[in-house]
Structure 1
Amino acid sequence: MGVKLVDLTQEIYQGMPVFPLHQKTMIFPNISHEESEKQIGFGFATNNLLINEHGPTHSDATYEYDPQGKYIDEMPLEYFYGPAICLDLSRVSPERFITRQDLEEALRRSNQHLDKGDIVLLYTGHYNRSYGTEKWLTTYTGLDYSAAKWLADSGVINIGIDAPAIDHPEDPKFSGHLVCREYGITNTENLCNLDKIAGMRFLYFGLPLRIRKGTGSPVRAVAVFIE
């Protein structure tokens, strides 16, 4: 018996795409091997990061969309790891919303089931099609209200997606986040490699940094399989 890990995390780099409202990712040298050698007699190299909490692969604190919600350092870690499934929604066109019927059909095709406390990742194919292009931040599918509510009513505690947001970019109500606010659950955005785990059940880890009063946090998202 062995353990297989599938990395679901996007690379963090200067120039990576982020929403216009967010701080652009900047990475710059703090000190070089040569500089530290001169100062302390041993070579160390470190970089500095300037990054938005919601820039790369990340999870939201409920405070982000609810002033009465919890900051990321206050949220139980159980929101960010546990049993999970990945539903294949790649048939859904970027021009339309993901509906409850789409979710139910994807669940049937997967021969899986939903349990209370599950984490559900949505494979839309957007990362594979559009990452690095102008369409990445503008043209992708997302949950309508009934679909997001169905997941929450099923006991899902974390909704993940391989797109910049769980909402459709043309949704003025931000339905996915609205449901997360109503149910006090989180979501994880900017995932990748979901094509490698579509239709499967696995153990998910996407632990946030312990940022005091954080509205969200970058995560290292992985799917864990016992073989």
Structure 2
Amino acid sequence: MTTTKLIDLSQEIYQGMPVLPIQQQTVIFQNISHEVTKQKLGFEFATNGLILNEHVPTHSDAIYEYDPDGPTIDEMDLNSFYGPAICLDLSHIEPDQFIMKKDIKESVKQSGEKIEDGDIVLLYTGHYERAYGGEEWFTRHTGLHYQAAKWLAEMGVKNIGIDAPSIDQTNDRKFSGHLVCREYQITNTENLCNLREVVNRCFLYIGLPLKIRNGTGSPIRAVALLVD
């Protein structure tokens, strides 16, 4: 008998969540209370208001973010955010090092799986478990070397995800991962979590963006659908 299981790969959104100083801090406020609506409408409703950056929680980038001539998030094909996926184990890579092409190829070999054209590849680095909410969350994490990102793009990968604030290594001023995404016109997904639960597995990935007009990116609810 076939069974399915959903794994939530998304960070919680809350006021006080980790946000880069240059970005809009997350604000959640009460818009209207049960008490007020009961008095005014005769029935209890409650709503909150949100102020947040497009790139703060678990999110995907619009190509426009790093290419002024690229599509905004509302213009992108939804297939970029949905499809067959594999999660590779790169948790042995030190935060001060790059994820190299050889590391990616070895990780694929160790998984016993293979990357197909049109796949989504998620990179489990262990950074979420190690540093989320701490001082090193934004300041010390691994990321893709240019040749590693290029190899993934040339394999036909349409979306590269990672359990860190960026697919770029902290000190990479060339922004190698994003540079490759611009050159190959593909998206990337950052601030994932719980990748340890899907490492070395193939699954159906779903991480649809909000339809934000002219959006540079969007928060997503990323999930992995496992079938056994």
Q: Give the superposition deviation at 1:3.
A: 1.5
Q: Give 2:174's aligned residue.
A: 173
Task: Show CA shifts across 1:136-161 (max 9, x none).
Answer: 01110000100100000110000000
Correspondences of 1:138-217 after superposition (within 5 Å)? 138-217=139-218
Q: Which amino acid aligns with 2:75?
A: E
Tell me how far apart the structure 1 counterparts of residues 20 and 192 of structure 2 sit (CA, whole Å).
15
Task: Show CA shifts across 1:180-214 (max 9, x none).
Answer: 00000000000000011111000000000011110
Correspondences of 1:75-114 after superposition (within 5 Å)? 75-114=76-115
Q: Give the superposition deviation at 1:226.
A: 1.6
1:68 and 2:107 are equivalent in the alignment:
no
Correspondences of 1:115-130 after superposition (within 5 Å)? 115-130=116-131
Report the 3-state secondary structure (helix = DSSP H, G, I; strand = E; otherwise coil) of the residue aligned with 2:75. coil
Tell me how far apart the structure 2 counterparts of residues 183 and 20 of structure 1 sit (CA, whole Å).
30
Report the 3-state secondary structure (helix = DSSP H, G, I; strand = E; otherwise coil) of the residue aligned with 2:98. coil
Tell me how far apart the structure 2 counterparts of residues 106 and 98 of structure 1 sit (CA, whole Å).
11
Where does structure 1 lack aligned partners over 5 or more consecutive residues? none
Tell me how far apart the structure 2 counterparts of residues 210 and 110 of structure 1 sit (CA, whole Å).
35
Tell me how far apart the structure 2 counterparts of residues 63 and 21 of structure 1 sit (CA, whole Å).
19
Report the 3-state secondary structure (helix = DSSP H, G, I; strand = E; otherwise coil) of the residue aligned with 1:73. helix
Report the 3-state secondary structure (helix = DSSP H, G, I; strand = E; otherwise coil) of the residue aligned with 1:5. strand
Q: Give the superposition deviation at 1:225.
A: 1.1
Tell me how far apart the structure 1 counterparts of residues 157 and 22 of structure 2 sit (CA, whole Å).
28
Aligned residues: 227
Tell me how far apart the structure 2 counterparts of residues 122 and 66 of structure 1 sit (CA, whole Å).
23
Q: Give the superposition deviation at 1:38.
A: 1.2
- Normalised by the size of structure 2, how large is the TM-score? 0.99
Report the 3-state secondary structure (helix = DSSP H, G, I; strand = E; otherwise coil) of the residue aligned with 2:99. coil
Q: Give the superposition deviation at 1:65.
A: 0.3
Tell me how far apart the structure 1 counterparts of residues 24 and 37 of structure 2 sit (CA, whole Å).
30
Q: Which amino acid aligns with 2:158?
A: I
Report the 3-state secondary structure (helix = DSSP H, G, I; strand = E; otherwise coil) of the residue aligned with 1:117. coil
1:44 and 2:45 are equivalent in the alignment:
yes
Q: Give the superposition deviation at 1:46.
A: 0.6
Q: Which amino acid aligns with 2:159?
A: N
Task: Show CA shifts across 1:83-117 (max 9, x none).
Answer: 00000000000010100001001000001101000
Tell me how far apart the structure 2 counterparts of residues 112 and 19 of structure 1 sit (CA, whole Å).
36
Q: Give the superposition deviation at 1:55.
A: 0.6
Q: Give 2:132's aligned residue.
A: 131
Tell me how far apart the structure 1 counterparts of residues 119 and 21 of structure 2 sit (CA, whole Å).
32
Q: Which runs of 4+ in 1 moved over 6 A?
A: none
Q: Give the superposition deviation at 1:168.
A: 0.6
Report the 3-state secondary structure (helix = DSSP H, G, I; strand = E; otherwise coil) of the residue aligned with 1:49. strand
Tell me how far apart the structure 2 counterparts of residues 124 and 99 of structure 1 sit (CA, whole Å).
13
